[in-house]
Structure 1
Amino acid sequence: MATAKQMIALIKGHVLKDEEQFLSLALQVAASEARQGRQETADEIKKLVDKARSGSHPASATAIPMVRPRADLEDVVTASYPKTKLSDVVLGPAVADRLARLIRHQKQRKLLRDHGKRPMTHVLLVGPPGTGKSLSASAIAGELHLPLFRIRLDTLITRYLGDTASKLRLVFDQVHAVRGVYFFDEFDALGTQRNQAGEIGEMRRVLNSFLQFLEEENGTDSVIIGATNHPELLDRALFRRFGDVLRYVLPSDDEVVVLVQSLLDRRKSKSFDWEGIAKAGRGLSQADIVAATDDVLKDAILDGTAEVSAASIINALEMRRTSRDTASQL
């Protein structure tokens, strides 16, 4: 049954005529009922919420729901409403196909559920910085017309005993109540191996709690995304909790060319040294290539130049490489 606090919040939502808050709180009650083994009651509440939403918001299947993190999570979770699409991200074929599969599962989740199957909801993204992991999370939210909730691990993880696990419980209560894409960036800060030397007992308890939360039935089919630059630091048990693990790598020569082409639009000169650009971008991340090309475009705008040359792009890419090499030596 609903707790006294939940009842107060439900009544407040009704009095204030905040229908979205009222329905979101109802889903929280449903999630609580499901955790206590009262699945029939939980299903009945969810059906009523679905009926209310479909009746009052005919366009809800395509409109992005304007929701915010609950008040006690405002310092931990930030919400945004991306319009990014998968076509905006330059990815290797394998990663692009598997992300498309995740989106297909989500868009046809009712069909899968009707056949007794669970849609994919958990995915782990691993790879070097700047290779498109964060942008992919935005693209998934954009494709599904869902809010993107970023979990700020710097405020989630505290030095107070038990506080981190309590906040994590609140995050997953929202996962079960509000459908969205929940993005845990720099995931290794939370999922460090339990047997790692020097690891404190509190973080082991947090990780154990996190593993349990990932196992809970996800009635809203919210997407949970973890991203890390250091997969070697993650506890092995985490990999089994994710439906797919996608490895991001630095762009190939062809991907460097495609990325620069997509950024230049019609500003490139007629004769363009794409081979030279591919060579100059080799070993750089997507973020580096985007930043270098953007620098050239901004200079062209300020100089009143209608076109940019391949030489200017190559020079900017080489400067980025020098900057990276210098930073790594510090």
Structure 2
Amino acid sequence: MAGLGQHITAMVRSHASGDDASFYSVALQVAAREAKAGHHVLANEIKKAVDASRRESVGKITTLAQPRGELAELVEVTHPNVQLRELVAPAELVAQITQVLAEQRQRRNLLEHGFAPAHKLLLEGPPGTGKTMTAAVIATELAVPMFTVRLDSLLSKFMGETASKLRLVFDSVAQRRAVYLFDEFDALGADRSGNDVGEARRILNSFLAFLEEAGTESLVLAATNHRSILDKALFRRFDAVLTYTLPDARQAMAVLRARLGTLGSGTSMAKLGDYTIGLSHAELVKAAETAAKTVLMRGETKVQRGDLIAALTSRRTASLG
């Protein structure tokens, strides 16, 4: 009965968190238990009920359950729809992300042979270069929700309680499969000195202990804009470090064309590289949107080269000034 009690407890928790996949998984474990005990009719009924429920949910548009209780104060949940092909990045970075996805899709096979799939990633690079988008891509490709934890807000809002709040988040990491993005990680992982060093070290040590215990079902991603100020001890705690850079001219053109869509069809972008120097992916997207809106408000349907130059120049002036 103890084993059945554990299954029931797990089913209640997964139902409460809105995690249908875990709920069905535990239900099938119960079916297997009953079949082993010789209760084949009951086992078949449970399997049929699971299959019927899964079929009914196919094609339905539903709002997945939001985090409840204290967890709701700590995380923001989204359900991204961003494909890997939409990410404009160097080939080496795309290869790293592809490898992570492949390992996650084969995680059962890897675990059976004693190997853990990559599930703890450090994303570092300038603002607007694709770190958050990468988390969204991974969540989309693996069909799981994305939980974002803004560490600077967590530290300031729950001063003195940060370690206990982190424990709540990592409890969710263990209970609900998702991508957990710890944004602005330098707020926690900075190599500090001064009066706050004791408190900061305790929080960091708590995070590292929780990270060490994190299982392979969920992915824990930490994003930082300031690699240089991170405590060097952090890097070895992650399975992989993904480095993001400002886009080169070719990547910049790809970002502009993707955002302009049909409005940029046939627009000459030759030798626009000088106007994109120093701009991040996010700033390029903003420039493309500015050019597109300017054209649409003129009553036209095609962005001209001059529109892009004006928008890019304005963004560079704003970012450098």
- TM tier, shorter chain? 0.7 to 0.9
Q: TM-score, normalised by structure 1?
A: 0.80
Contact 2:76 2:147 in 1 (8 A): yes
Give 1:202 deviation, angstroms: 1.5
Q: Is 1:20 matched with 2:15? A: yes
Pairs within 5 Å for 1:150-299: 150-158=148-156, 162-193=160-191, 196-218=193-215, 221-268=217-264, 270=266, 272-275=268-271, 277-299=272-294
Q: Aligned residue for 2:29?
A: 48
Q: Quote the Cα distance in structure 1 between the aligned partners of 2:97 and 2:59.
A: 19
Report the more deviating stretch, 51-60 or 97-106: 51-60
Contact 1:130 1:288 in 2 (8 A): yes
Contact 2:263 2:303 in 1 (8 A): yes
Q: Quote the Cα distance in structure 1 between the aligned partners of 2:28 and 2:121.
A: 27
Residues 210, 271 of structure 1: alpha-carbon distance in 2 compared, 3 angstrom cutoff: closer
Deviation readout 1:282-329 (Å, 9 max, x if unpaired): 221111110001011112222210111111101110111111122xxx
Residue correspondences, number? 297
Q: Aligned residue for 2:86?
A: 88
Contact 2:17 2:65 in 1 (8 A): no
Q: Quote the Cα distance in structure 1 between the aligned partners of 2:254 and 2:213.
A: 41
Contact 1:296 1:312 in 2 (8 A): yes
Q: Quote the Cα distance in structure 2 between the aligned partners of 1:61 and 1:106.
A: 23
Choose from 102, 113, 119 the match for 2:100: 102
Give 1:264 deviation, angstroms: 2.1
Q: Aligned residue for 2:37?
A: none
Pairs within 5 Å for 1:288-327: 288-326=283-321
Deviation readout 1:68-112 (Å, 9 max, x if unpaired): 223111111110100111111111111111011111111111111
Give 1:161 deviation, angstroms: 6.3
3-state SS of the aligned residue for 1:184?
strand
Any unmatched runs of 5+ in structure 2? 33-45
Q: Quote the Cα distance in structure 1 between the aligned partners of 2:158 and 2:218.
A: 29
Any unmatched runs of 5+ in structure 1? 28-43
Residues 145, 50 of structure 1: alpha-carbon distance in 2 compared, 3 angstrom cutoff: farther
Q: Quote the Cα distance in structure 2 between the aligned partners of 1:132 and 1:202.
A: 31
3-state SS of the aligned residue for 1:227?
strand
Counterpart of 2:180, as a letter, is Y
The RMSD of aligned alpha carbons is 3.4
Q: Quote the Cα distance in structure 2 between the aligned partners of 1:48 and 1:162.
A: 41
Counterpart of 2:229, as a letter, is L
Choose from 132, 135, 141 the match for 2:133: 135
Deviation readout 1:101-145 (Å, 9 max, x if unpaired): 111111111111121111110111101111111111111111111
Contact 1:65 1:147 in 2 (8 A): no
Q: TM-score, normalised by structure 2?
A: 0.82
Contact 1:293 1:313 in 2 (8 A): yes
